[in-house]
Structure 1
């Protein structure tokens, strides 16, 4: 039976005892397609709309062509201009990996690696033969719209002389994240959409073409991101975000597996596969950071409409912060 919006203690997880550790399967029903996006109720969207006061709109998408040399052995974006003679008309054909640039990870993207199960217990065989937990459900729901909150960790770190290297495998600790929350006087509400700025897109934009090629060819995709620990997982659950996102390639520290990572608390497994919480990666948060700092306000209305692809695994967000 679905428990929908009811308060559920972290210590009450897993909800489905036959599933992997920490899962919230069945919370919104066994056939649920939206996960924690169910927290974006009409009432919460109406409340979030009160964040719109000046009409300033800021795009949060990096160009589809960035990064110009993707890591994780993914193909780069391609655009083919097609001239439709004899008329003077152009079409263009776009080819891209939905994981290549700014993206929302859908529930078909990452499974619990031990059980090989996706959100709500779906298997790879089900996903290949049906449209369960498909990205287009986000669109049918009206997109991802609600109150966005920027946690500008990169700015806080620079202000407080905390070393940050976005292009190296460094963990943003929960302790430092909490200090940044206190610094910005952030107060979270259930259903908020969290954005953590690590400084990745800013650092990448400063690289020349050779440096970008070399970065993609490294033997290990080393990038900073939030730590994958029990305390971090607990902190995220207790705040009941509807979605979480950042400018880092993996949101959590990359590579997401290895000697530095606790195998029991992989965030993609817990958050995406376990709770049904979309994870956003490589958002362009630079202009947003500048505006938030200038106006002294780190909350906004988020409008994000993923591509309506039936059976979609992930999608560019088509996202705007509106103040």
Structure 2
């Protein structure tokens, strides 16, 4: 793989013709048994260059929402975070236990999370039975596609914030009707053309292997909800959410530039998809591209504005849970 670009051009996709309805798959691009997908783009050279170019002041910003930020009323069918702190008498000692859904706060979606729905396949032609551990392949590759693959070398490199919320509220987006029509809890798109305009407005240049982070303003919108609005959202199946548009052009842009994607909203893309495919299918099942969701980006936005730069070094290590589906990101931005 070139340090300067993807392993094959976007026009070559799909690589595997084995199954229909596996839109733009890149199976085999990093090897038939590969379980890291886009994270193969985070080479030692790219990570070292990112550290050298981005770490200047040592300023650090957490990208993690509290595990219990949704309280006892998590949205979209997730389970609430539960914490039990207990004494170990007669010693003056405490232990605690946690129980939570890995999708209920900041998270990386691992490659077991979302497959091609019609083809019923995950990354690199992995089946539900492979993940269940009932096939010969699963014996050869135990815990195939688990989040241990996001933990082993971490998710590390140059992060780029595309601050849609700030651009929409304070920048040229104030004069764009479509941007003003964006609604956090309605299926409305953040268009690719706006993402590119925001990068230009910020003065941010992309480098191959960057970690894309999009701030929609979800956290501010969520904390402004009252009890009745939360109850209404809890009852929605499927939920209706604003997010990044689904388009061939958007997919091409992601393929050409990034090593993973993340955002502050629960789905990265607008949801439900208006097409017969979703970015979740292509990113996770087609390309092995981890998706970060519900990242806490408010302090990051303020820091970028203060320092006048929207790129930084990112270090994130998933929890080491062999066969896990998703994980808290344990993520830091370092300037």
The two structures have a TM-score, normalised by structure 1, of 0.93
What residue ranges of structure 2 are gaps of 5+ in the alignment? 134-141
Classify 1:34/1:7 alpha carbon distance in 2 versus 1 (closer, same or farther; 3 Å): closer
What residue ranges of structure 1 are gaps of 5+ in the alignment? none
Corresponding residue for 1:197? 215
Mapped to 1, the partners of 2:70 and 2:286 lie a distance apart of 29
Which residues of 2 match residues 238-317 of structure 1 at below 5 A?
238-239=256-257, 241-256=258-273, 261-264=274-277, 266-317=278-329
Contact residue 8 and residue 29 of structure 2 kept, 8 A: no
Mapped to 1, the partners of 2:188 and 2:38 lie a distance apart of 28
Matched, 1:94 2:98: yes
Matched, 1:122 2:126: yes
Deviations 1:25-74 (A, max 9, x none): 11111111111101111111111102111111000000000223222211
Match for residue 75 of structure 2 among 51, 71, 76: 71
Q: Secondary structure at the match of 2:58?
A: coil
Matched, 1:177 2:195: yes
RMSD: 1.7
Contact residue 204 and residue 309 of structure 2 kept, 8 A: no
Corresponding residue for 1:135? 147
Corresponding residue for 1:60? 63
Contact residue 102 and residue 282 of structure 1 kept, 8 A: yes
Corresponding residue for 2:47? 45
Mapped to 2, the partners of 1:82 and 1:195 lie a distance apart of 38
Aligned residues: 315
Deviations 1:153-195 (A, max 9, x none): 1111112313132222211112222221221122111110000
Mapped to 1, the partners of 2:51 and 2:2 lie a distance apart of 26
Mapped to 1, the partners of 2:130 and 2:236 lie a distance apart of 35
Corresponding residue for 2:13? 13
Contact residue 75 and residue 230 of structure 2 kept, 8 A: no
Mapped to 2, the partners of 1:234 and 1:3 lie a distance apart of 17
Contact residue 208 and residue 256 of structure 2 kept, 8 A: no
Which residues of 2 match residues 104-119 of structure 1 at below 5 A?
104-119=108-123
Q: Secondary structure at the match of 2:160?
A: strand
What's the offset of the Cα at 1:254?
1.7
Mapped to 1, the partners of 2:167 and 2:260 lie a distance apart of 22
What's the offset of the Cα at 1:220?
4.2
Contact residue 39 and residue 289 of structure 2 kept, 8 A: yes
Mapped to 1, the partners of 2:95 and 2:314 lie a distance apart of 31
Match for residue 84 of structure 2 among 63, 80, 85: 80
